[in-house]
């Protein structure tokens, strides 16, 4: 055998040996479902980010101290639903496109004093729709398949107005424009696990960490020296979901 493997034949021989398994692997891989369709539902909890920044100015003509209020202070955990389509580009990796919607009801909270009387704010609900593309890597095969991934895209947040009240003197400043409807960059990371019921159906659960950029300001407080309270409105949030995945 050694005599047959002349230097000119060594390269083709090695290449042939290396390529022999590929037709078998390609046949096995081609028999597996390439596409996936998923649906998830759960809650989305704000992790960081401010809706309202701290500042000093004037409301209703009186000196006003405004304290910062986070997304969690005002909105708390909200409803979240998402759907996605994936295509396997590797045995354990898929490119995905996804869409998600969240709605968070606002709490009426105290946001400062005028001048020493409590100042309350009632914001509009937070409603956001996101479109993303990304990649998901399944860590292992078998019936239980943990996964990690990342996405990038854009999120549209509805217009947000705020009604300011000083109940002690029965004063109200209604429907103050605060944030315009905004389309902002967004992205994040994801992790979870799929439990395969059969070759075409799986249950799944996941925890994501998602970010979006600053919303577009609407200067309803112009002339109050409080114009800067909505300068920084990017946020991180954590969707926690459960759902199903269909493979075909």
Q: For residue 166, what are its two tokens? A: 């000083």
- Among positive and negative, which fits the CA dihedral 29, 31, 36, 42? negative
Nearest of 204, 219, 229, 210 to residue 143 by alpha carbon: 204
Please give the pLDDT value at position 90. Answer: 95
Per-residue pLDDT of 24-83, as tens digits, reads 334 434 567 999 999 999 999 999 999 999 999 998 888 999 999 999 999 999 999 999
Per-residue pLDDT of 66-80, as tens digits, reads 999 999 999 999 999
Model-level pTM? 0.83
- The C-alpha atoms of residue 94 and residue 213 are separated, in whole angstroms, by 26
Contact at 8 Å (CB) between 54 and 67?
yes
Domains of the chain: residue spans and CATH: 33-247 (2.40.160.20)
């Amino acid at each position: 055998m050694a005599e047959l493997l002349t230097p000119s034949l060594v390269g083709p021989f090695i290449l042939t040996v290396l390529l022999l398994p590929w037709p078998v692997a390609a046949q096995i891989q081609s028999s597996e479902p390439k596409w996936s369709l998923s649906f998830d539902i759960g809650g989305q909890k704000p992790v960081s980010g401010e809706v309202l920044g701290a500042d000093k100015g004037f409301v209703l003509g009186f000196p006003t101290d405004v304290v910062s209020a986070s997304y969690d202070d005002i909105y708390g955990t909200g409803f979240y639903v998402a759907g996605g389509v994936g295509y396997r580009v590797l045995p354990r990796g898929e490119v995905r496109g996804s869409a998600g919607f969240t709605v968070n009801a606002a709490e009426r909270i105290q946001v400062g004093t005028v001048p020493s009387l409590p100042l309350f704010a009632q914001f509009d609900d937070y409603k956001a729709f996101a479109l993303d593309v990304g990649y998901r890597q399944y860590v292992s095969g078998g019936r239980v398949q943990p996964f990690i991934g990342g996405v990038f895209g854009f999120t549209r947040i509805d217009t947000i107005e705020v009604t300011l009240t000083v109940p002690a003197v029965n004063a109200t400043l209604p429907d103050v424009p605060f944030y315009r409807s905004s389309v902002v960059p967004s992205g994040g990371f994801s992790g979870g696990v799929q439990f395969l019921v059969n070759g075409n159906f799986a249950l799944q659960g996941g925890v994501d960490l998602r970010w979006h950029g600053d919303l577009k300001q609407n200067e309803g407080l112009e002339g109050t020296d409080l114009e800067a309270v909505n300068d920084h409105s990017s946020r991180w949030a954590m969707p926690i979901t459960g759902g199903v995945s269909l493979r075909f």
